[in-house]
Amino acid sequence: MANISFEKRMLFTVLWAIVPSFLLALVLLWSADLSFYLQSIVSIFLTASIVFSLTYFMSNIKDQFISLSNLVEALNIGDFSLRGKSEKTQSGHSDLIYQINTLADSLTTARYDFKESQLLLAKVIKQIKVAIIACDENHKITMVNPETETLLAMNESKLIHKTLSDLSLSKLESIKSNSIESLTLGSRNARWHIYKDGFREQGTQHTLYILSDMDLLLSQQEQKAWKDLVRVLSHEINNSLAPIISLTSTLDKMIAHTDIDGEDKTDVQSGLSIIQDRATSLKRFILGYRELTHLPEPKKQIIDLVAVIEQLVSLLKYPLKLSLPNELKINLDAAQIEQCLINLLKNAFEAGGPNKEIELNLLVSEQLIIEILDKGDGIQNTDNLFVPLFTTKQQGTGIGLSLCKQIIQAHNGQLQLTNRKSGGCRVEIKLPV
């Protein structure tokens, strides 16, 4: 009986219940003193009634099972829109239909919750400023986020199925989770905090890497500290300089109407003038640092960067050797980029030594690279390049490179200065296209 279908077992159960009564009825019918025709008609009627009842019963059972099968199949393939019609009376069949409908409602709610969670996760992954890489058990990349695409200067379609070795990141395979390592990710060489964990997708083991740029984070914290310091210093110094300038001006006017001897009077007025000039110069000097703490968000628009550079070159009149395309449309804040290039070209010109010629190159591939080369003595102190207030120039203020770095970072780019082997300095600006 175990190998017989459920419908056949139902049929056999009904037959065992009906057949004895049917046979008994036939025996009694044919034992009675009735005509042969009447006995035959009643026998045929009884047989037809039983066959019809059995056929109707089995057909109804089969239809119910087909309906239930269709409902379960719809749930299995992810179609949660179908619902079964349950009976109003309480029965096992109506309870089963009710439970299937409840399951469909629960799965529908779960699907919507899952989709909403996926959309939220996708938004977070797109906006988060850390590199996320997922690899399969063969170290082939299966997923990256937009930040990784920017760092590697390749979109996801090109990165998928590349291995970590193809991207010179095979070191990640042996690195422990929550460690800090120096890595080159695309064109960015930095110290990275690496979080590493495993997960399964479609039965296959995968590895997730989350890389945070520690140098960038420390730089941002350092810049915030310098901004806070400069803000406090400029406020306090300005509060002191304003009355000094006012008092020296008042004293100068008062001395002009006194009876002090001519030579002494001249000396006093000269001293007051020096104090006033130095105080005024110091005030202008301090106001210059306000740019570090009040740099506005870039107002980007599509500009022709080549035209901007050519106009800049004609104004500065530095000995420049240019390597530019005919045209380059890019989304930037023209005013901020101009200010950045002015500072960098001025530094290159002043550092050029006897040979003042400067090279300016524009290279475009997956990202824009602006390269400025000089032939001076190079960088003497690389550790303090972007430290505000630090300068090696006698007349320098120490804000130029810090301001340039902030401008480039606000455009989601990178600014790097390195010494050239042939002598001089190489400035490299990388911006997303």
pLDDT digit string (tens) for 106-156?
888 888 887 887 787 777 777 777 888 888 888 888 888 888 887 787 888
- Alpha-carbon gap, residue 66 to 384, rounded angstroms: 78
| Assigned CATH topology for domain 218-293 | Helix Hairpins (1.10.287)
Mean pLDDT is lowest, of 32-41, 293-302, 417-426, for 293-302
Mean pLDDT is lowest, of 7-21, 278-292, 303-317, for 278-292
Q: Is the pLDDT of residue 389 over 70?
A: no
Which one has a higher pLDDT value, 68 or 428? 428
Average pLDDT, the chain: 78
- Sequence-distant (6+) residues with CB within 8 A of 47 are 22
Mean pLDDT is lowest, of 171-180, 285-294, 328-337, for 285-294
Mean pLDDT is lowest, of 30-39, 271-280, 392-401, for 392-401
- Alpha-carbon gap, residue 21 to 8, rounded angstroms: 20
CA distances from 374 to 329, 363, 412 (A): 26, 17, 25
Which one has a higher pLDDT value, 223 or 91? 91
% of the chain surpassing 90 pLDDT = 2
- Alpha-carbon gap, residue 405 to 423, rounded angstroms: 23
Q: Is the pLDDT of residue 374 over 80?
A: yes
Q: Is the pLDDT of residue 396 over 70?
A: no
pLDDT tier for residue 371 given thresholds of 50, 70 and 90: very high
pLDDT tier for residue 283 given thresholds of 50, 70 and 90: low
Residue-level pLDDT at 238: 67
Residue-level pLDDT at 388: 53
| pLDDT, tens only, 61-80 | 888 888 888 888 888 888 87
Residue-level pLDDT at 28: 84
Half-sphere exposure of 372 (CA within 13 A, CB side): 26
Residue-level pLDDT at 13: 81
Residue-level pLDDT at 111: 83
- Alpha-carbon gap, residue 341 to 313, rounded angstroms: 10
- Alpha-carbon gap, residue 413 to 216, rounded angstroms: 12
Q: Is the pLDDT of residue 51 over 80?
A: yes
Arithmetic mean of pLDDT, 250-266: 69
% of the chain surpassing 70 pLDDT = 79
| 279: enclosing H helix or E strand | helix 262-293
Long-range contacts formed by 91-100: CB under 8 A, 24+ apart: 93/64, 96/68, 97/68, 100/68, 100/71, 100/72, 100/75
pLDDT tier for residue 50 given thresholds of 50, 70 and 90: confident
Can you give the residue ranges of every domain in the chain? 6-104, 128-214, 218-293, 301-432
CATH superfamily, with its number, for domain 301-432? Histidine kinase-like ATPase, C-terminal domain (3.30.565.10)
Residue-level pLDDT at 354: 64
Of 379, 376, 363, 361, give the one whose Cα is nearest residue 418. 379
Residue-level pLDDT at 158: 84
DSSP class of 175: P
Of 131, 153, 285, give the one whose Cα is nearest residue 211. 131
| pLDDT, tens only, 203-240 | 788 888 888 887 666 666 666 666 666 666 666 666 66
Of 128, 129, 127, 132, give the one whose Cα is nearest residue 144. 132
pTM for this prediction = 0.48
pLDDT tier for residue 288 given thresholds of 50, 70 and 90: low
Residue-level pLDDT at 220: 62
Per CATH, is 128-214 categorized as 3.30.413.10?
no
Which one has a higher pLDDT value, 281 or 20? 20
Q: Is the pLDDT of residue 103 over 80?
A: yes
Residue-level pLDDT at 424: 84
